[in-house]
Amino acid sequence: MSELFDAVDALLASRAALPPPAERKRLRAAHGLTIEEVATALQVRRATVSGWESGKTEPRPPERDAYARLLDGLAKLYPAPANTGTADEDTAAPATLARTVVPESETRTPSTGQAATAAGMTAPENSQLPAPVAAAPGAAPRPVRTTGPASTSRRPGARKADPAGTPAGDTDPRFPSGPLAVVDVTDEGQVLAYCVGGLVLDVPAKSFPALVDWTLKEAKLGQPKLVGPGKDADPLLVLTEAALERYGLPATLTEEEQLAGRLPEGHKVIKQLTRAEWKLTKRGFGPWARIYRPATGSDRQCVQLCIPSWHALDTRHWGHASQLPPAELARVLGVYAARVMTPRGSTAVTGLELMTALHPPTHAVRDEATGGFRKAETKNPGSLGEDPVDPAPCEAPDGHPVLKDLPRFHVRGPAERLFEEAYDWARPMTDAECTRRNLVGLDVNLAFAAGANGLTVGLGAPTHVTHPVFDPKLPGSWLVDLSHVDLSRVKVAKDTWAELDAALLPSPFTPKGDRPQGPAWYATPTVAYAVELGYEVSPAEAYLRYDNGRYLDGWYQRLRDAYLATMADLHVAADTLPEEFLAAMDGYKNRDPDLAIVLSAIKATVKGGLGKLRERPRGENWRPGEPWRALSRPTWRPDIRAAVISRTRINLHRKIVKHAAFTGDYPVAILSDCVVYATDGASPLDFLPYRDGKPLPGGFKLGVNPGLVKHEGTQSVLWGEGVREQFNAPRLNLARYIKDGTVTDTDNGE
């Protein structure tokens, strides 16, 4: 009889109901699982699971039953978001809520062509707001009080339409007001909180501790966690100068306070917080302060501050954001929060925090003894864990504690130090190149993010191995002699070799493009490229990481999607013809200067986040051989940074070699992700070998996607030679100035 039951179960399993492909992907991501982890559990290939999630294929028994069981369990843990309703529902409202109604004439049409809504956000749960009021054309919006006496206030600035694809503030019923609010004070003294989507809240708090309490109890600000085991984002308050004055804080920091990065401990507002039993993190009350109480159960007890007038928003990355009106600033930060995450500090800090948010080190498990929840004893698969690991000696920067036994003033050479950095290379132009008219620069979109995509990196501590057999799939640092690699003859395809002019090419193994002179330490992607070019390698030793995974995949995907969505809102779409792409890129930042700020911040999040993986001491009265603060983080991982930079540099060199082999053209300068060619035309299309609209396989391709290239700038060859002659620097890196031709320093690259 049991055999009959098994046969019946098999029949049922063969018809097991499965959710739609998009829902399958959502459920996996909600639990923080990678495609590879699911494939391993179901004993299928990674591509098989990818096909199930894209809808290209459907699972068959016996895997179908197991897959259905997995999805069913995940669906119980992470049910699909329900529609939270509209402002017309019959609910009761807290007295502090108000609403901005934006007239139709003040909105901008999203790039998708859909009409922009003028009403802003829907009402929070358990609230009742008046229906949108039809405003006269050109009228400025103003908050509408839900209860209490009528009050006059300065009219908030008219809100621009939110970009296409930006999640509304009511996507999670717990946080109907969105992730953040810009707190400002009107000319009449009314305190308002400008939220995403045009919502404006009336703030009743009279003191700073009361403002923190209001934020947690009434404002309903926050952002849901990015993955299942993660944590919800804390609410962010952005304080204008008027708000700072209202709550007893200085509009700007003194020079001494700027150096310290915080207010002095004895400031009256800090004393108020202490009396109210609020705490500050170790970084104190600075531009990005965090105010908290120890959490009780699942209650959120933390509020983060952003103070633009204290230089919280670095102008190099946020442009003029700190000068925007409150509603505009809320829009800019809100779009960034929706597409990346709620800012946790500088763009660099946020880039690092995004890695952790997508791969939390641990998760909660039920304690059978108490019935409550406790932290799991093991780390989450695919995460870095909670404990920092020491780097290999070759990976450690000078002054690191693992190098404390080195003689003082000892200078480590290539055989002692891993030095994987981006390109800074240039060469004199040939006579033939000098007869050409122009220098044209190409810039790789999100080059370092593209370098992180699909990259296997170490998750744990390194293991030292002598005379290892090189394995391109194993992340680590390898001591190997690559001086025998000859770029005059390289493999460009499986059985195809190309003859090149090595004197016109940079070496792929050093940032300055010099040919190695002997054994040196390299990350795995660099050594793998030497093998790809057709040369054997024999490492003398290595520090290898057997605990590894594609830690940065989710990080890349989120930043890629944020970048592409923002570019689409600026009317630069993916999958366009090269001519259309170049036309769309002409003046794209001027179409919406606020979204151009978001784009700049997204790019800075990529580079800054990777830079934080190898953060150096910042003051701290540090002395060589002693640990510094950043070393206490599990995300202090110079080996991961080195691997990403190595792969990014190799990706660019591969394109250069393919281009040279096909066209005979060589670059004259490379700086990081920008490469410059001498050509007779003024456009990339004048020298990129497109045929019937298709680019050279493996070469440069114009487009908006990460890893593709855009036009960086064009200057004349006479300009380039004139600049080099002016500074008597035949190797001056022209890629640094190709964008607008302005020479800002005299680094001659010699």
Choose among 747, 741, 700, 713: nearest CA to 447.
Answer: 700
Residue of 155 and 372 predicted with greater confidence: 372
How many CA within 13 A on the CB side of residue 85? 15
**DSSP symbol at 730:** T
The overall pTM is greater than 0.85: no
Kindly list the distances between the CA atom of residue 442 and the CA atoms of 74, 410, 507, 709, in Å, as whole numbers in the listed order.
45, 39, 19, 6
Residue of 436 and 147 predicted with greater confidence: 436
Instruction: Give the tokens for residue 656.
Output: 């250069």
**DSSP symbol at 702:** B
424: pLDDT strictly greater than 90: yes
Q: What is the rounded average pLDDT of the residues 628-641?
A: 97
- Highest average pLDDT, of 17-31, 116-130, 707-721, comes from 707-721
Q: Which pLDDT does position 704 carry in this prediction?
A: 97
Q: Tell me the average pLDDT of the chain.
A: 85
- For 201-240, give the DSSP string: EE----SHHHHHHHHHHTS---B--SSTTS-PBPPEEEE-
Choose among 331, 337, 395, 385: nearest CA to 362.
Answer: 385
Q: Is 473 exposed, middle or buried (0-12, 13-18, 19+ CB in 10 A)?
A: exposed
**pLDDT (tens digit, 9 = 90+) per residue, 514-537?**
999 999 999 999 999 999 999 999
Residue of 181 and 97 predicted with greater confidence: 181
Q: Which pLDDT does position 9 carry in this prediction?
A: 56
Residue of 115 and 555 predicted with greater confidence: 555
Radius of gyration of the chain (CA): 28
Q: Which domains does the chain have, with CATH numbers?
A: 2-77 (1.10.260), 97-345 (no CATH)
Beta bridge partners of 315: none
Q: What is the rounded average pLDDT of the residues 253-274?
A: 94
**pLDDT (tens digit, 9 = 90+) per residue, 578-609?**
999 999 999 999 999 999 999 999 999 999 99
6: pLDDT strictly greater than 90: no
Kindly list the distances between the CA atom of residue 615 and the CA atoms of 269, 397, 628, 675, in Å, as whole numbers in the listed order.
31, 10, 9, 27
* Cα(180)–Cα(219) distance, integer angstroms: 10
* Cα(745)–Cα(630) distance, integer angstroms: 32
Q: Which pLDDT does position 79 carry in this prediction?
A: 82
What sign results for the dihedral spanned by CA atoms 663, 489, 675, 711?
positive
**pLDDT (tens digit, 9 = 90+) per residue, 115-126?**
333 333 333 333
Q: Which pLDDT does position 75 carry in this prediction?
A: 86
Backbone angles phi, psi at 548, to 5 degrees: -145, 170
Q: Which pLDDT does position 86 carry in this prediction?
A: 34
Question: Which residue has 């197991």 as its token pair?
Answer: 66
Q: Which pLDDT does position 665 carry in this prediction?
A: 97
**pLDDT (tens digit, 9 = 90+) per residue, 431-442?**
999 999 999 999
**pLDDT (tens digit, 9 = 90+) per residue, 54-95?**
877 888 878 888 888 888 888 887 887 654 333 333 333 333
Instruction: Give the tokens for residue 152.
Output: 């006059």
Ranges 9-13, 17-21, 241-245, 523-527: which has the least confidence: 9-13
Question: Which residue has 């093998």 as its token pair?
Answer: 531
Q: Which pLDDT does position 619 carry in this prediction?
A: 75
Q: Which pLDDT does position 190 carry in this prediction?
A: 95
Choose among 613, 619, 618, 628: nearest CA to 400.
Answer: 628
682: pLDDT strictly greater than 80: yes
61, 7 in Cβ contact below 8 A?
no
Instruction: Give the tokens for residue 495.
Output: 């059985």
Q: What angle do CA 340, 345, 347 make, to 5 degrees?
A: 50
Kindly list the distances between the CA atom of residue 326 and the CA atoms of 210, 291, 683, 712, in Å, as whole numbers in the listed order.
21, 22, 41, 33
**pLDDT (tens digit, 9 = 90+) per residue, 230-263?**
889 999 999 999 999 999 999 999 999 998 999 9
Ranges 102-111, 196-205, 274-283: which has the least confidence: 102-111
- For 308-365, give the DSSP string: GGGT-S-HHHHTTGGGS-HHHHHHHHHHHHHHT-S--SSHHHHHHHHHHHHS-S--EE
**pLDDT (tens digit, 9 = 90+) per residue, 324-360?**
999 999 999 999 999 999 999 999 999 999 999 999 9
* Cα(696)–Cα(690) distance, integer angstroms: 6
Choose among 612, 610, 569, 608: nearest CA to 704.
Answer: 569
Contacts of 304 (CB under 8 A, 6+ apart): 234, 235, 236, 237, 288, 289, 290, 291, 342, 344
Instruction: Give the tokens for residue 76.
Output: 């119980």
- Highest average pLDDT, of 164-178, 290-304, 351-365, 388-402, comes from 388-402
Ranges 108-122, 168-182, 504-518, 668-682: which has the least confidence: 108-122
Characterize the bridge pairing of strands 236-239 and 180-185: parallel
657: pLDDT strictly greater than 60: yes
202: pLDDT strictly greater than 90: yes
Residue 564's pLDDT band (boundaries 50, 70, 90)? very high
Residue 15's pLDDT band (boundaries 50, 70, 90)? low
Residue 36's pLDDT band (boundaries 50, 70, 90)? confident
Residue of 42 and 676 predicted with greater confidence: 676
656: pLDDT strictly greater than 80: yes
What proportions of the chain, in percent to the nearest 5, are helix, strand and coil? 35, 15, 55
Ranges 153-157, 427-431, 655-659: which has the least confidence: 153-157
Q: What is the rounded average pLDDT of the residues 737-747?
A: 82
Q: Which pLDDT does position 4 carry in this prediction?
A: 57
